[in-house]
Structure 1
Amino acid sequence: MSITMYQITVPVLVRALMNLSGVLKKGADHAKERNIAEEVLLNTRITPDMFPLIRQVQIATDMAKGAGYRLAGEEAPKMEDNETTFEQLQARIASVIGMLNGFKPEQIDGSENRDIVLKMRSGEMHFQGQPYLLDFVLPNVYFHCTTAYAILRGVGVVLGKSDFIGKHD
């Protein structure tokens, strides 16, 4: 039995975002318990030349959302990137999970060879569906989820590998 594009897109991305949501919840709880202003944690960076926590979440969700829509051959809706609280980031994650869960397998299956063109500041990036997902989207989503985890872990939020990986059914 072979695996389908839908199976390696929607469930995988939804799981990553659900786990990111759990990590952020622990971050919000940590801030509240220690009387730390949310904006302090949300604007924390690993290093000065990396994006802060808020942006890491925005990029992870944008990547996941974009993958679903592009592989389905549709234009992805734009998000404002104006979140300033943990609650707003949670709403953003929930919104993207809802979008991803709205796709049916037949919308994404068969997209292995779909032409995908990303317009970047540095120019256009051209992909076919499967390499776009496996070589670009998934590494980016995991990078930004990992970075969000590392930021919160670095400020003392009690997190473990199981928070990142999630529970197995």
Structure 2
Amino acid sequence: MSSQNIDSIKTIFQSRLATLEHLLTSAQTHFSEDEAFLQERIAADMLPLGTQIVFTCNQPRNFALWCDGKPMDNLDPNVLSLAHASDHIVNTKELLSSINAEDEKLSEITRIDLGQDLCITMSGSAYVHDFLMPNFYFHMVTAYDILRMVGVPIGKRDYMMHLLPFLKQV
């Protein structure tokens, strides 16, 4: 993965955020006006769907901020409406679009403060591939799983939408 550059990382985040938008549109169609599904969770000790959406957005958001030399700035985890969730996704995509960093940024050493007097120091590339991407996919898959659990008619094709441009009839 070390051959990836800033633009390819942006593209991955952008396309997967488009998938998250699609999943939420499917949920909105399925539930109509009822937004209570945003409070659903897989297990009692896991965070609800609305928070999973926020945490999914936080990863590319913090990537964009890091590229711009700014500190991490997580979104408020309390999402009670689809409009609020959608705004987070749109704003995150806009923030990604504004990135203007050189690929050398991935070689820089960065420090990630984890709270409780804990931190991780790693290269920018490791920050992206070992911290941001795993967290991004964890929360996105959790959001997908919650939607499946509550009956939204989505499947793997909905999750793998980024492959549609490569789909061919044989």
Scaled by the length of structure 2, the TM-score of the pair is 0.87
Provide the secondary structure at the position in 1 that maps to 2:69: coil
Cα contact 1:113–1:130 (8 A) shared by 2 = yes
Count of aligned positions: 162
Task: Compute the displacement of 1:64 (Å).
Answer: 1.1
Counterparts of 1:72 and 1:114 in 2: how far apart (Å)?
13
Q: Which amino acid aligns with 2:6?
A: Y
Unaligned runs of 5+ in 2: 166-170
Counterparts of 2:54 and 2:18 in 1: how far apart (Å)?
14
The structure with higher relative contact order (CA 8 Å, sep 6+) is: 1
The aligned residue for residue 13 of structure 1 is 13
Task: Compute the displacement of 1:108 (Å).
Answer: 4.1
Counterparts of 1:43 and 1:82 in 2: how far apart (Å)?
10
Q: Structure 1 residue 120 and structure 2 residue 117: aligned?
A: no
Counterparts of 2:65 and 2:133 in 1: how far apart (Å)?
15
Counterparts of 1:52 and 1:67 in 2: how far apart (Å)?
23
Q: Structure 1 residue 149 and structure 2 residue 144: aligned?
A: yes
Matches within 5 A, 1:103-118: 103-104=99-100, 107-118=101-112
Matches within 5 A, 1:11-160: 11-32=11-32, 37-39=34-36, 41-77=37-73, 79-104=75-100, 107-122=101-116, 123-160=118-155
Counterparts of 2:91 and 2:127 in 1: how far apart (Å)?
23
Q: Which amino acid aligns with 1:132?
A: Y
Q: Cα RMSD (Å) of the superposition?
A: 1.9
Q: Which amino acid aligns with 2:20?
A: L
Task: Compute the displacement of 1:57 (Å).
Answer: 0.6
Provide the secondary structure at the position in 2 that maps to 1:126: strand
Counterparts of 2:76 and 2:153 in 1: how far apart (Å)?
30
Identity over aligned pairs, percent: 25
Counterparts of 1:55 and 1:121 in 2: how far apart (Å)?
19
Provide the secondary structure at the position in 1 that maps to 2:6: coil
Provide the secondary structure at the position in 2 that maps to 1:116: strand
In the superposition, relative to structure 1, how do residues 129 and 159 fare at CA in structure 2: closer, same or farther (>3 Å)? same
Scaled by the length of structure 1, the TM-score of the pair is 0.87
Counterparts of 2:157 and 2:42 in 1: how far apart (Å)?
21
Provide the secondary structure at the position in 2 that maps to 1:50: coil
